[in-house]
Structure 1
Amino acid sequence: NPELEKIRTEVLHSKGEDEKLAKNVASQLSTIHAAYLFSGCGRSALAQICTVISSTPACSNTAVTSSWKDLGFQLGLTFHQICCIENYKYSDCTENVLKTYAQNMNATLDKVIMALYELKRYDAVSMAYPYLLALEKYARREQVVRTEEEDSGYHSVDGLESVEPTHDGILRPSGLRHLRSQLYITLRNLEIPVSDQTTHDNKIEDNHQQAMIANRPRPQNKNKCSKRVMLTFAKDGEKIAYNVAAQLRKARGQYLPIGVLILDEHTELVEANPEQFITHYFPQMDYIIPIITPKYLETIDKNSVSETSLSSAIDTRYVQMIHTLMVKYYVGNSCRNDKFRSIIPDCHVNSILKDTRMKRDLVLQAFVTESKLETLAMRILKKK
């Protein structure tokens, strides 16, 4: 039948193209870590893969097309991990499979693509293809930026960045460790403590290794900073906040630079769980510095509903949450303000000081104008 032969030829050609596409994508992503799927840019690719795979029934007795379970086994998940994922009623199974796989240091994206290839799920690869290309560009660009920062000795906050090894050629996101912490306990690869007997047997070798390490020259800590501060600002204070951060990060004589935390500079770490990230780092900061603008006062006013845009910095979406933490700290500290120092932009001084919302907010009363920023920086550095 000529018509059937024509259809058969088209199907075989289409299958051949899909196979070729999958192999090409796998080759391009061979050095990109799978944890990038959970970064801001990679979530679009993740969503496409999850939508295609999770929409397939997982009943192994009847399903002709491979499901998330097959993908899990293909990526090396254990039987018990698959069963645990199946019992999580309020989360996507495919996402949990990929997140479990991504916690491994050598979990590259090409293995995910080849797993889909082996399962003949070319539809998932095809749907995610343009987003995977964007992810690759993002990952390589991020690595270049991170390398430049390390070479210049600059990091915004001491110890905030990941210290995962990169000498093996795999490009890993800075939020890999944070991603592991988001996994259910039943899916984590937990380290098993070494037994006392093993420790005793290896004692001589360990002592020898420690002696060798002790004799090596210690590398300089490029991330050192004297004090840590977190900036909080609304949309109309975003540009000013970055100017303030640049000034505070400068070295001043004998003092190390001030480490400045801006949420939007750590997107991969923050987006996994913004509230947890903020509540974790808030108490570690020496100071919280609000940039007080008209929009900032409007945002913290519970009687008004502020509009936030996804295109703006992450910081603008969590102004009210950070302000609430400030108030709770202030009350718990017997109404003593030893942690908050506000900055009022010079162009808004008159209007801000006349605003009743500013007058009645006790946590904002210790402030300087933008032109007095250097004075504030020296006070922060000299604080014991």
Structure 2
Amino acid sequence: METKNMYPDPDPDTITIDTLVLEEMVKQERTKEITELHSLSKKTCNLHADLLYYRHATSAMGSSCYELWKRILTQVGGSPNAWRELGLHLGIEPNKLNYIMYSVQEDHVDMVLKVFRQNENATIDKIIDAFIKMKRYDILKSMEEPLCKIAQFFNKDDSGYQSKSSGQREVVRPKNIPNNLPAALSNKVVSQDKEPKKPKQPALKIPPTPNVPIVNDSPIFFLTYTQDGFPTAVNIQEYVENWTEIPNVQVITLNNKREELYQNPEKFIREYFEKADIIIPIITPGYLEEIKSHNPTVPNTSDNLDHKYVNFIYNLIVNNYIHASGCLNKKVRSVLPQNANVDLFRQITMYPDLMPWTYETNFDAQFQAFLKFQQQ
């Protein structure tokens, strides 16, 4: 019996036409996608790059800012020398990029963003334009979701927020976002041609803290952490700034007191250690590794002052715990980041002087309660 061919031979002309149509559809879709990515620049021309470093674990905007920062670091860091190309497109001088290359141990992409955001006009659209010039639409596509979420907090429409008074966009720049940069990369370095201010030089008879007197009426938190604890340190400063029941709490970090610290680091740290109501070690793998592997014969040359003096502060904690308080921990309250893993819990049990600890997510309630108890 003759069997009918249910699947006739394909027509070569039809295949060619269908392929061309499919290619044209793909091309149109790609063009539309690239156009949408270009429009991100327009949406973010009034958002300062400081927003990349805004941290607030309990807010949607804080989470979106962190996610955007993380995606930029992950995507750019995955391509060799993409960080340098990004820096050049952002107008960073080649000598500063060379310094990052050869003298900085921190993430190079992160350092490029920190150098860039020192400028008042360092808006996020310039970062987007840099990726467009680099033809890195893969990076832009990764940034699109968190970037649109951030833009929605400030923009009324796709053209950006319009000021009613001036008719111009207002640059959104959050306050008090620290930027810990080595002196060689900072725009605030005093020129050698100008004579430095002499009042900052140590004298024979000088108060313990010459330029910033400590106000004893205000509670003081003294943070100590390594580089991987920096995001949590920023979050803690944000939490405290939003406190209403206990206002005017000072949060001390060494990088924020860089000028006073340089005159006599050990003296400065000892005085603030004594004055502080609570010493707050931020427990991370880097922190535990630093205090475990300390070798007094090898100096710590880190440009991050908080990281550099972790061991010095930890020795003060141990002495206070053993000798001053008789193994009663009345001053030190450790914080574990919200992403802490089980291994970190196991390791911290080996350090009774760092107990008790508090989750970062419980910081507000527990530290306000502890501070109130101390003040009774």
- TM-score range (shorter-chain normalised) is 0.3 to 0.5
Instruction: Provide TM-score, normalisation by structure 1.
Output: 0.41
Instruction: Provide TM-score, normalisation by structure 2.
Output: 0.42
Normalized per residue, the structure richer in helix is 1
